[in-house]
Amino acid sequence: MARTNTTRDMTQGSPLKLVLGFSLPLLGGFLFQQLYSFVDTAIVGRYLGHISLAAVGSTGSLNFLINGFCTGICSGFAIPIAQAFGAKDETELRRFVMHSVYLCAAISIAMGLLTGLLSPVLLQAMDTPAEMLDQAVAYIRPIFFAIPITVLYNMCAGIMRSLGDSRTPVVAIAIAALMNIVLDIVFILVFHLGVAGAAYATVISQLASGLWCLLIIRKNFTMLRMQPDDMRIRPPFIRRLLNMGIPFGLQYSITAIGSITVTAAVNGLGTIAVAGVTAAGKLSMFFATVFDALAATMATFAGQNVGARRLSRIHQGLKSASVVGCIYCVIAFVVILFFGQGMVGMFVNADDPAIVEEVLAKAHQFLIVNSALYIPLLFVNIVRFSIQGLGYTKVAMVAGVMEMIGRAAVAMLLVPVFGFDAAVWANPAAWLLADAFLFPCYFSAMKKLRIRMYPAGTTVEAEV
């Protein structure tokens, strides 16, 4: 297979070096992606007030439900692409990419129209407080209508990562993040568009990142230049991609359903509680980018090595990711413990200092409890994405069900009794329950693959 300096073969070399080398650029990309939310939240919270901040925050779980499904589909579609790359089959690689384009276009357009039109109904169903409903709709509706734009970036980034290129998407998202900062200031502070201005800034910035990735793919990835026969629709490719992508997308959405139950429960505690969770959630997502980067790395690492029939390397890669991640978890907890409340202060502003103090106190409580259990979150990410890289996306989807059960149980049973003190435990409960399911599934999936690839009487030495 012809290779360029933009691709990376993860079937050879030190797993630790590959994990670090691949995940660090990914981390940069995820950090820039979080900059979107950081800038939106900081400007909205400080210049539009805590009601506007709560309105934007109240859309988070719903946004995760819808856009998470689309993002998950893109990630699932990338798995057969990574496996074809690892197997060095260029024809199959091109055809999986072409069919991914067809499916992403159809799904994203349908989702964008449906959710954009129904956004007020969906927010009302989540018991969004009346005083922030209009602002919540004004923020989330443009983002939903622009789902095809979001999918464009995620599809292109997923394709490049499958081929071992984790750097190019970082450049695209960096450009978008800087553009987002400028547009946020212009739309909110100059044109006074309110929370809708933050949404417009995000959409335009995402369009820039998606177009940049598309341009780089067309220019640099010569192996993806389609032949006329590659463009013919083939049902087996459609089925394979949907079998990978739909469970991946549903996993995100199922997880989000649990988050929605928590959001609805917190909504019932008032705008101060919502603002506290919103501010803490944004900062927590920033710290969690390391887990996202390691997870995406393991999906590509596992996918390529399955294609190359080198199963022992997957164990080695997972161990390397675990060591790196656990060291980071300890550092993150210490930082949040001593500096978390000051850091979350950048998102909060109000005329009444007592309100600010209460919001910050709730945000810091949320951060300390969650960061103390970051190691279970680490394993939720890297083990689940390893399983998905192996091709068992339906099994990994059940982990999303476990997370949903954990969050929903806390939201429905404990929050009504113990209030905010219980709400902060919703995420840790979800992570622990998911891990209890994921670890046995990982070892079972590896065993099944080994039996399938190396039936009794055949040697496995060739994979080492």
* 412 has a pLDDT exceeding 80: yes
Rounded CA separation 139/40 (Å)? 10
For the stretch 26-73, pLDDT in tens is: 888 777 777 766 677 778 877 888 788 778 877 877 888 898 899 889
Question: Of 245 and 43, which is predicted with more confidence?
Answer: 245
462: left (phi over 0), alpha (psi -120 to 50) or beta: alpha
Q: What is the mean pLDDT of residues 212-227?
A: 91
Would you tell me how many other CB atoms lie within 10 Å of the CB of residue 189?
A: 13
Cα gap 222→377, rounded to integer Å: 38
- What pLDDT sits at residue 345? 75
Instruction: Report d(CA 404, CA 430) in Å as an integer.
Output: 7
Where does 221-352 have alpha helices with state H?
Answer: 235-267, 271-287, 289-307, 311-344
Residue 4 above 60 pLDDT? no
CA 393 to chain centre: 16
pLDDT confidence of residue 459? 54
Predicted pLDDT at 108: 96
Say if residue 254 is exposed, middle or buried (CB neighbours under 10 Å; 0-12, 13-18, 19+). Answer: buried
pLDDT of residue 148: 97
HSE toward the beta carbon, residue 243, CA cutoff 13 A: 10
pLDDT tens column, 327-353: 999 999 999 999 888 887 776 665 567
Domain ranges of the chain: 15-456
Asked which of 79-83, 275-279, 381-385, 405-409 is least confident by mean pLDDT, the reply is 275-279
Burial per residue of 259-289, b for 16 or more beta-carbon CB atoms within 10 angstroms, e otherwise: bbbbbbbbbebebbbbbbbbbbbbbbbbbbb
- The pLDDT, as a whole number, for residue 297 is 92
Q: What is the pLDDT of residue 432?
A: 95
List of residues 6+ apart from 237 with CB closer than 8 A: 95, 96, 99
Q: How far apart are CA 7 and CA 135, in angstroms?
A: 44
When mean pLDDT is compared across 101-115, 230-244, 335-349, 375-389, the lowest value belongs to 335-349
Q: Average model confidence (pLDDT) for the chain?
A: 87
Q: What angle do CA 434, 436, 438 make, to 5 degrees?
A: 65
Of the ranges 48-62, 92-106, 154-168, which one carries the lowest mean pLDDT score?
48-62
Q: Looking at residues 196-203, what average pLDDT do you find?
A: 93
95 Cβ contact list (under 8 Å, min separation 6) = 230, 234, 237
Residue 462: pLDDT band (50, 70, 90) is very low
**H-helix segments, 268-288:** 271-287
Q: Indicate the residue type of 252.
A: Y
Band the pLDDT of 6: cuts 50, 70, 90.
Answer: low
Q: What is the mean pLDDT of residues 1-10?
A: 62
**Residue 2, pLDDT score:** 46
The C-alpha atoms of residue 312 and residue 310 are separated, in whole angstroms, by 6
Integer Cα distance of 23 and 294 in angstroms:
6
Q: Above pLDDT 90, what percent of the chain?
A: 48
Query: CB of 347 within 8 A of CB of 282?
Result: yes
| C-alpha span between 10 and 163 (Å, rounded) | 9
Q: What is the pLDDT of residue 461?
A: 42
Question: How many other CB atoms are there within 10 angstroms of residue 308's CB atom?
Answer: 19
pLDDT at 256: 74
Return the higher-pLDDT residue of 40 and 187.
Answer: 187
Confidence of residue 316 (pLDDT cuts 50, 70, 90): very high
- Mean pLDDT, residues 151-157: 95
Specify the pLDDT at position 233.
95
pLDDT value, residue 458: 58
Rounded mean pLDDT of 114-136? 91
